[in-house]
Amino acid sequence: MDELRSLIARHGPIGRTATAIPGVSLLRAEATTTAAPSVYQPLFCVVAQGAKRLLVGDRVLVYDEAKYIVVSVDMPVSGEIVAASPDAPYLAFSLALDRTALATMLIEMGGAEPEPPAPIGMAVSPVTPDLLDPVKRLMRLLDRPGEIAMLAPLAEREILYRLLTGPQGAMLRQIALADSRLSRVSRAIDWIRRHYDRPLRIEALAEVAGMSHSTFHRHFRAVTAMSPLQFQKHIRLQEARQLLLSRQGDAGAVGFAVGYESASQFSREYARLFGAPPARDAARLRGLSALDRARSAETV
């Protein structure tokens, strides 16, 4: 792990950094943070130093040094870095998960195992030497950028193989299988993200997922740790925050734009999630430096 810490520290300035390797990002933080809502997309992340705590619906996940987390679907979370200092910064590596690459590898490996009884959207496991090795080889390529195009896909392929054959393999297999329960729930999540401003009908979402009403509701909560309505609320409020930051305008109008019918309800739920009413929160964020805003958008 020492080598990975050194590589991340050398190539990752404070905040989140997208590297020259497609899909690979680094995160460095030299202080703990307060809980900040965000949306995680499918990814694999290794923590080389420090620790982070996530609140996912009614679940709490902690991942720290020598642990990795796998996120299988888009997930609204509230995360805080709980172990970081200038002398021992929080250091993390993340790789976006490619469903097509997983599906191709699964075919080459000979198919899928039976589905787990209750699919989940994210989980944490200890890093093994076999998994750490291709991660380090991938990171070393940042010192040899001319080799990235040829060698990065090989290291990424080994990472996916190690993940598929590791403790989270069953969950990752469900990402790749088009008709798995996890993939069906993922289709409903995608619908909510694209139509967050529309009224939510559970029957229509269940039809998108190809499930009965009761089965869909049960599996959606198992995957996301929240109900479809709670999930939609998180997505609406995240979108509202982006709108408030990108344009000067009336907070009430933004609330209506993301699907709220009541300005007071929008303001109340926004303050509950972000800690301040919409206009005050947006003014605070606009007053931050670009670096501080980047820190507030940390995801791994």
pLDDT digits (tens, 9 = 90+) for 207-217: 999 999 999 99
37 SS3 class? strand
- Its pTM stands at 0.84
CA distances (Å), 229 to each of 17, 205, 217, 272, 279, in order? 33, 11, 10, 16, 24
Write out the two tokens for 15. Answer: 């905040």
Out of 87-91, 175-179, 180-184, least confident range: 175-179
User: Which domains are delineated in the chain?
Assistant: 2-176 (2.60.120.280), 181-229 (1.10.10.60), 233-296 (1.10.10)
Mean pLDDT (whole number) for 116-145: 90
For residues 165-179, give the mean pLDDT: 84
24-58 residue pLDDT tens: 999 999 999 988 889 999 999 999 999 999 998 88
Alpha-carbon distance of 67 to 47, in angstroms, equals 6
Taking all residues of the chain, what is their mean pLDDT, rounded to a whole number?
A: 89
Q: Residue 119's pLDDT is what?
A: 65
**DSSP secondary structure, 69-111, as one string:** EEE-S-EEEEEEEEE--SSS-EEEEEEE--HHHHHHHHHHHT-
Residue 76's closest CA among 32, 122, 125, 23?
122
The whole-number pLDDT of residue 183 equals 87
Quote the pLDDT of residue 292. Answer: 55
Tell me the average pLDDT across 68-89.
94
Q: Is the pLDDT of residue 297 over 70?
A: no
- 176: tokens are 């790749």
Mean pLDDT calculated for residue range 217-235: 92
Provide the pLDDT confidence category of residue 10 given band limits of 50, 70 and 90: very high
| pLDDT of the residue at 159 | 97
